[in-house]
Structure 1
Amino acid sequence: MTMQHHDVVPTTVGGRTRGVSRAGIGMAVAAALTLGMGAVQTADAKETIRCVFPFWFGFAPTFVAQDLGYFEEEGFEVTVVFDNDRANVYPALESNDIQCTQRTIGEHIARPLTPDTNTVVIGLTDISVGADGVVAAPDIDSVTDLIGKTFAGEINHPGTLMTAHALQQAGHSFDEVDVRLIQTDDSPAVFEDPDVAAVASWEPMLSEIVRNTSRQGSKILLSSKDFRGLITDVIIVNKEDYEAKREMYAGFMRGIYRAVDLYNKDPEKFLEVAAPHFDVTPDEMKADLGGVYYTSYEDAQEYFGTGGPAKLEDIINQLNDIQVSLDLMDAPINYAAISDPTLTKGLFDGYER
């Protein structure tokens, strides 16, 4: 696998994530701290969970739970700032300057995470079921057609992980592909290069590339809907704070799963509350949620194995193989070392849902 590095600068877009400059990122974390300090200095001081996570509609249940008073009923509040850069978010999370982040499990377990890192996975928020994928040139009909050709994408992008996984399943290695490292926001322009056989992207850019490219006959080669569960977003919190305030974090997860219940029962109300937080209309948000599956409490029970094998453990094992091969991890990491499935069991016993 040869790597072609291109100088890239994050840009601002809608959809899965919104990049900001490193200066902006530092300001985002600082803003999260300021929000939290303001909350605890009020006369009726409440516990506050400060969250920093990427701009992604999959994380909307947190906003809905806060705005509809689900967290207030549990005796605390949640503040949120958008920020996609792990290099700034994770040090703040480990030191308890912030208490929570949300992102894909693949991103989370990548370097520099170790079993001793002061974080723990306690819940789910959503699964990509078509929101991420790979667009291929007209002459690429299967993932093995990429061997010896140029694939463009971020090394930790869900589309890159899916490509590596699909090649492994076909008896090949990602090392057999030439990789051009790009910023995902640049994927439409990069795909216009005839030397690029495929590009990793996410919605809405994924469909826009197919629809607008000059390379007629291009298609979505791989979609996260065909790898259900591989691209799962999880909720990660500071481990020491979680162990000291376990019931507060149980309330946090109850609030989020109640928000998902609302989406399943009354999506219009959910979107009405959530959309302003992303500076879009409810209709715009609805259009971009086609590839997103919000995970319910029942899904969490399956993924954390409260009644049998943990599906999340199987996903982490698959990601271990993929990400070690991509040099995103030094060694495989154990599911039990980085998560606490016990919070999910009986989460709503004695509580309103």
Structure 2
Amino acid sequence: MNLVFNFLARLSTAVQILVFLPLTLATLSTRAFLLLSLLLSIHSLLHGTCLMLWPGSRFLPFLQLPMHSFLLLVTFNVFASPWCIAAADLWGKMLALSAPLYLILEGVSSLLVVQKAGHLGRELVAEGEGYQLALLVGTAITYVSSAWWIVASYPAAASSPLASTLLGAAICSFFFLSSIGFVLRKTNVIESSGMALFIAYQIWLCSLGSDQMSVSSTTSSYVPLTWGGHFQALFNFIAHTLPKPLLFSLLYRLSILHLASRILPTIGADSFDDTYGVDDTWEDRPTSALTRLLLTYRQAIFVTVYSHLLLLDPSSQVWSRWMLIIFTLVIWAVELLVGSEDDVGKRLD
């Protein structure tokens, strides 16, 4: 029962953050949004510190539930004060400077999830021929879908000679790395198809970069302080103003970071009890100090990543996406080189 209540408390926290940040951006101003993001980040850091100091506490997830609404009301009332404006501007600069870090996290997390999927697929293949056939069909569909996605995105993605060169280099590198991995028995078709899908997704985002407007440039004017008016503005903002590719990007990045946080505790461990979470004891958890910090402060990471994505200027992110593709392929190449023969996926365990 405690696990159910803790899950509901964490779900409520995530929903409040997901709603309150775009609500503020849609109805007040970018500075008000940055102020709320800063307050939520500070609160998340304090909450994570409390979890680390009192790991066995069952009440901390519930005690933080009213804080998000309280911080939203505080933002609505004080966002125009000079010190709040200065703090919001400083926080906005910090988010902008940390953009490469978020892209690196996305690339590493994507590779981590793809390799874990390859390892799980390898285990399923050993269970019987039925699983093997299903996985082969699934990977074939993934390859074909990725190829179609790249071809459909090519005219817009290859908008300049340099972009065309990067696209060709990325595809050739993928084919060479996949072939090398197959020959050396250091990868499988599941991992390779997952990387193909990741590259296709990034190329698709690059193809949309020059056609989308920044979310922060489309915010509405100030709305009277009534909950109905604010949530109506939020609905209109999401339905008509917020670019749909940004919604997919938000969902993908948050999901991939969450999945990676679940995979990290299995690194270097033979077994791991999935029922453990950041609100449970760390005494028997086979993780490093870095993994413990990442999982403990993942709510703060969630807030900052979400805030950064809502402020993205898609046209300025095109070249960063190309760098992300190159970085991920380089990391994949290193993984293939350091892995032992016929040890697909075990580099993660």
* Range into which the TM-score falls when normalised by the shorter chain: under 0.3
Structure (1 or 2) with the larger CA radius of gyration: 2
- Bigger share in helix: 2
Higher relative contact order by CA 8 Å / sep ≥ 6: 1 or 2? 2
Superposition TM-score, scaled by structure 2 size:
0.26
